[in-house]
């Protein structure tokens, strides 16, 4: 397969539901064949969202505390973008770090253009 070069340094967040399904990280394997793409970090800590639980007023602070370690790790990572297959994880990560997040398929689409 011929991919165009994608000059980015990414972090890949493995969501808790993906880990619990025990399917591994197949997107990391696929992304590794894109020229120029540097997978700098594979982050497998919980963001604390638990679906929509982290949005609930009574759970919000607890949710942030759960995700604190991941958020701090991402802030220190100096990646260009964070990929995650989970929409609620992406919302938490981008909201807390200011680093753009997207679904892994977006990078594949960019490599195909």
What are the domain boundaries of the chain? Answer: 8-112
CATH topology of domain 8-112: Rossmann fold (3.40.50)
The structure's pTM equals: 0.86
Q: Pick 18 or 8 by higher pLDDT.
A: 8
pLDDT tens digits for range 34-72:
999 999 888 888 888 887 777 788 888 888 898 999 999
Report the candidate in 27, 11, 9, 2 with the shortest Cα–Cα distance to residue 104: 27
- Residue 56, pLDDT score: 80
């Amino acid at each position: 397969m011929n991919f165009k070069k994608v000059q980015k340094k990414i972090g890949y967040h493995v969501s808790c539901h993906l880990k619990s399904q025990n399917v591994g990280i197949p997107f990391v394997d696929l992304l590794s064949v894109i020229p120029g793409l540097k997978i700098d970090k594979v982050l497998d800590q919980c963001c604390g969202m638990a679906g929509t639980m982290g949005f609930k007023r009574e759970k919000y602070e607890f949710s942030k505390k759960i995700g604190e370690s991941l958020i701090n790790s991402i802030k220190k990572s100096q990646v260009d973008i964070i990929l995650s297959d989970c929409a609620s994880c992406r919302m938490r990560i981008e909201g807390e770090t200011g680093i753009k997040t997207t679904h892994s398929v977006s990078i594949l689409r960019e490599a195909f253009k």
